[in-house]
Every structure is written in C-alpha cells, then in structure tokens.
Homo-oligomer: A and B are copies of this chain.
Amino acid sequence: MGTARAPNRWGEGARLRADIVSAAAALLEESGNEDAVTLRGVARRVGVTAPAIYRHFADRAAILDAVVGEAFEELAATVAAAAHREDDASARVHAVCAAYLAFATERPYRYRVLFGRHRTAEAAMPGAKPMDELRGAGAFGVLVDAVGACADARNPPGREVQLDATALWVALHGYATLRASVPAFPWPDGDALVSILVTRLAGVPSTGPCGRDGTARSG
C-alpha cells in the first residue's frame, strides 16, 4: 500500500494536506472505525513517512477534525443541491430527506463520524449554542427551510417549524444509523419508512391530499 511519492515542488506542499485528508477519509470508510485511522496508517496510504504529516497537522486528532469538517461540507452541499432541484414545497422536503439518507447510506462511516462521536471537546461543552456556530447547521438549515416552506403553503399556522424539523432530523438520523448497524432487522421495503417519517413528522403529504400515512408497505 502507498507507493513512494516524489516530494511536491516549492509552493505545492499544500497538496499533501489534501491528500492526507482524502486518505484519512478513505481509511475511515474502509475500516469503519475512527480509532483505526492512525497517523502512521494515513502516512503509509499517502506514500509518505509519518513525520511528514506534522508539517500540515498539529497531531493525529487534527487529521480527523479535518475529515469531519469536510464531511459536514459534503453533507450540506448534498442536501442543498437536492433542495434546489425541486420547485414544489412538499416534493422538496421528500427530496432533502432522501438525499440525507442517501449520503448516510453511501458513506456510512463518514456520516457516522459527523454525529456519532461522543466525548469530543465540542460534545463536552454544556448548554446550547447559537445554531450558526454548530457544525452541521448548514444541512439542518436546509431541512428547516424546506419544512417551513411546506408549512407556509398548506398547513395551519401555529405548527412550529423548528420543532417539526428537529423531530424529522432525529428520525432520519435514527433510521440512517440503525439500518447500517442492524441490517438483519426486518426493515420495510423501499422508502416506506421514510415516507411515514416525513408525512407524519413534518405534516408533508406524500401524494394526494395531506394525509397522515405514508405509502403502504408491500409485504
């Protein structure tokens, strides 16, 4: 693994930084374990000796922080793109949720590292922060906007958009992680469960009038 690599030329040292983050993300995706992403392993993967990492990152933790930051940006970009593709408010909520779940399904460990870390410095900070200081605020904001637009369009006023969006997010996250962790569970086919979560939690119709139920399970 990790063929030797010619040194970058003057002024191009920053390329190694990007390669380190990519290698760390790939290692995370393959090992499925944050602790398996070692500094030496990343160096091997990139084709560089271990001390070379220190020119770009203060320590091992900084590498993982960079992976997390990049993953948050990817997630936000993914759901924002899905939102922009849909004009209809209800369809947009469904599309955003589908994109969110697709990200979690296709990159399960990258997704996991976003919200699955405990005991980090960030998680240890007690009390609420303003939303815009939270990593992940971008993706959540897209969801809030989509749910809000849908509420404006057809729901009675008084529904609390932030609360609805939070409930929906929580449910999507649970589905994303459990489906990966407990694949042997008899999950319903297709997107039956997603439809139920979206329609019931955000008050968004799936098709036809604003009903409570999602598509029936075909089983």
User: Which residues of A are interface residues toward B (Cβ below 8 A)?
Assistant: 31-33, 35, 108-109, 112, 115-119, 122-123, 125-129, 131, 133-134, 136, 159-160, 162-163, 166-167, 169-175, 177-178, 180-188, 192-193, 196-197, 200-201, 203, 212-213, 216-217
Contacts and interface: CB of A to CB of B under 8 A. Distances in A.
Contact of A177 (B115, B119, B160): B115
- Stoichiometry, as copies per complex, reads 2
Contacts of A117: 181
Contact of A116 (B109, B181, B213): B181
A186 B140 CA distance: 12
B181 A193 contact: no
B167 A193 contact: yes
Contacts of A33: 35, 118-119
B178 A115 contact: yes
Contacts of A187: 128, 166
A129 B184 contact: yes
Contacts of A134: 182, 184-185
A125 B33 CA distance: 18
A32 B196 contact: no
Given A126-B183, A128-B187, A167 B171 contact: yes
Contacts of A131: 186
